[in-house]
Amino acid sequence: MNDTITVKELEQKIDELTEKSEILFSSLGINAKREKLKEIEHMLNSPDVWADNIKMAGLSKEKRLLETGVALFNEFESRSEELIIAKELLKEDDSMKEEAAATLVEVEKILSRIEFQKMLGGKTDPLNAILSINAGAGGRESQDWAVMLSRMYLRWAERKGFKTEIIDRVTGDDAAGLKSMTVIIEGDYAYGYSKAEIGVHRLVRISPFDSNKRRHTSFASIFVTPEIDDSVEIEIDEKDLKIDTFRAGGAGGQHVNTTDSAIRITHIPSGIVVQCQNERSQHKNKATAMKILRSKIYEIEMKKKMEESAENEKNKMGIDFGSQIRSYVLHPYKMVKDHRTDFETGNVDAVLDGDSLLDDFMEDYLLKYGKENEK
C-alpha cells in the first residue's frame, strides 16, 4: 500500500475514516457507555454491593465488557487524531506519506475490530454458551466425528480463555465414540461467538474403521443456546415438568456412582428434554438441568420472534438448526468450507485443533449476517 497509494488517495482515505469515526461514536453510544462505566465504578465502591455476591459479579462483568468496548474506541480515536495531523503535514511534506499510510493500516485494523464488536451487540451475546453436539446417523463413523468436534470446541474455548464444564455426555456403543455431549462454555461473549456454529457439520474422509479404505461422509449437529442468568425472567410452572432420576453411567457401562443422582427433566408443553449427570449430587444436577431448560425455552421464544420478523427471513437458512453449514474434507483434498459465506481454508488440521482459523469462520459469518435482532 505504501508504494502504490498517492498522497491524494491517502488524504481521501483519512477523510473517510474520520467520517466513520463520527458515525461509530454516535451509533455505539460511546458517551453513554463512558457515563455508565463511571456509574458502575461508583456502585462497586459501595459496601452494600460487596455484601451481595450475585450483584457484585453482575456489575463486575458489565464493567469489564464496557471497559473493553470503550478502550477499543479510545484507541481508535487516538490513532485517528494522529492521522488527521499526518494529513495536515502531508500538505507541506509528502515524505510523511509512508508513515501516514502505515498508521492508516493500523487504524483500519482497529476499525474492523470495532465493527465486529458491534455485531456482538445482541442482548444475549455477552452470556455464557450451552453447546450441544449430537452425532448423526451412521453409528461409529458419526460418533467418531462427534468426538472430533468436541475436541475442536473444547480446545477453541481453552485458547480463548473460556472455562468449560461438560454436564452431559453419552458415549457410543463401543465407548470410544460420542452420541451426544453438552458443555457449558463460560466467558465474555461465549454465546456471541459460538452461535455462529449452529447447524449440521459434515465430514468427508477415508474411514479409519473401514478395512477397504473407502471414503465416508459423516454428519453431526451443533446447537447453542445462551446460559440465561437471573436477570432474564423465564416463567416455568412446576406442573409442566416431568422429572426422572436415573443412575449416571460412565464409559464402558460402569457407573459413576451407585445412587440415582442423574436428572432428566421434560417440559411437557414444549417437549424439551434436558438431562445432567455430571455431579454426584442430585440437587446440583437438577439445578444445572433447570438452568439449561430455562435457556432452551428462552431461545425458542427468541427464535419465534425472529421468524416473525421479515428482516430476519433472509438469515433463516443461516441460523436454522437443520441447515448443513460447513464441510470438512480430508480426502481426496483438504478443505474446510462454510456454505453460508463461502469462506474456506485448506488448513483443516488447524481448524479441527480449535485454532484461530475457527474464529475466522465465526467472525466471517457474524459480519456477513449481522447480529440477531433481540427485543
Q: Residue 245 contacts by C-beta under 8 Å, 6 or more apart in sequence?
A: 260, 261, 262, 263, 264, 282
- Scan for cell 445412587, then name that residue: 259
Residue-level pLDDT at 354: 96
Alpha helices in the chain (DSSP H): 7-27, 30-43, 47-50, 53-92, 97-119, 140-160, 190-194, 282-308, 316-319, 348-352, 356-369
Q: Give the residue-averaged pLDDT of 269-298.
A: 87
> Before 208, cis peptide (omega within 30)?
no
Q: Any idea of the CA torsion for 91, 97, 99, 100, to the nearest 10 degrees?
A: 60
Entry pTM: 0.75
Highest mean pLDDT among 87-91, 227-231, 270-274, 298-302: 270-274
Yes or no: say if 86 and 14 are a contact pair by the CB < 8 Å rule.
yes
The hierarchical CATH code for the domain 123-375 is: 3.30.70.1660
Q: Give the residue-averaged pLDDT of 323-351.
A: 94
Q: Which three cell numbers stand for residue 127?
A: 452470556
Which candidate, 207, 190, 96, 191, places its Cα nearest to that of 148?
207
Q: Which three cell numbers stand for residue 263?
A: 436428572
Q: Residue 203 contacts by C-beta under 8 Å, 6 or more apart in sequence?
A: 145, 148, 217, 218, 219, 220, 327, 328, 330
Q: What is the DSSP string of 134-187?
A: EE-SSTHHHHHHHHHHHHHHHHHHHHHT-EEEEEEEEE-TTSSSEEEEEEEEES
Residue-level pLDDT at 321: 40
Q: CA-based angle 330:333:337, to the nearest 5? A: 70
Residue 333 pLDDT more than 90? yes
Count of C-beta atoms within a 10 Å radius of residue 73: 20
HSE-CB of 290 using CA atoms within 13 angstroms: 16
Residue-level pLDDT at 306: 59
| φ and ψ at residue 339, rounded to 5 degrees | -75, -15
Pairing type for strands 178-186 and 163-171 reads: antiparallel
Between 219 and 247, the higher pLDDT residue = 219
Which candidate, 264, 109, 128, places its Cα nearest to that of 190?
128
Residue 11 pLDDT more than 80? yes
Q: Which three cell numbers stand for residue 281?
A: 449430587
Between 232 and 242, the higher pLDDT residue = 242
Assign 370 a pLDDT band (cuts: 50, 70, 90).
Answer: low
Residue 36 pLDDT more than 50? yes
What is the maximal distance between C-alpha atoms in the chain? 83
Q: CA-based angle 31:34:37, to the nearest 5? A: 150
Domains 7-119 and 123-375 share a fold: no
The CATH architecture of the domain made up of 7-119 is Up-down Bundle (1.20)
| φ and ψ at residue 324, rounded to 5 degrees | -85, 110
Q: Which of the 8 DSSP states describes residue 249?
A: B
Q: Distance of CA 87 to CAs 8, 34, 107, 185, Å?
A: 10, 29, 14, 46
Distance CA 280, CA 284 (A): 8
169, β-bridge pairs: 181
Distance CA 310, CA 314 (A): 8
Instruction: Tell me the average pLDDT of the chain.
Output: 84
Domains of the chain by residue range: 7-119, 123-375
* 3-state SS, residue 264: strand
Distance CA 231, CA 255 (A): 37
Q: Give the residue-averaged pLDDT of 130-138.
A: 91
Q: Which of the 8 DSSP states describes residue 131?
A: E
pLDDT in tens, 160-169: 999 999 999 9
Q: Which three cell numbers stand for residue 321?
A: 438448526
Q: Would you call 242 exposed, middle or buried from its count of C-beta atoms within 10 A (0-12, 13-18, 19+)?
A: exposed
pLDDT in tens, 305-318: 656 544 444 444 43
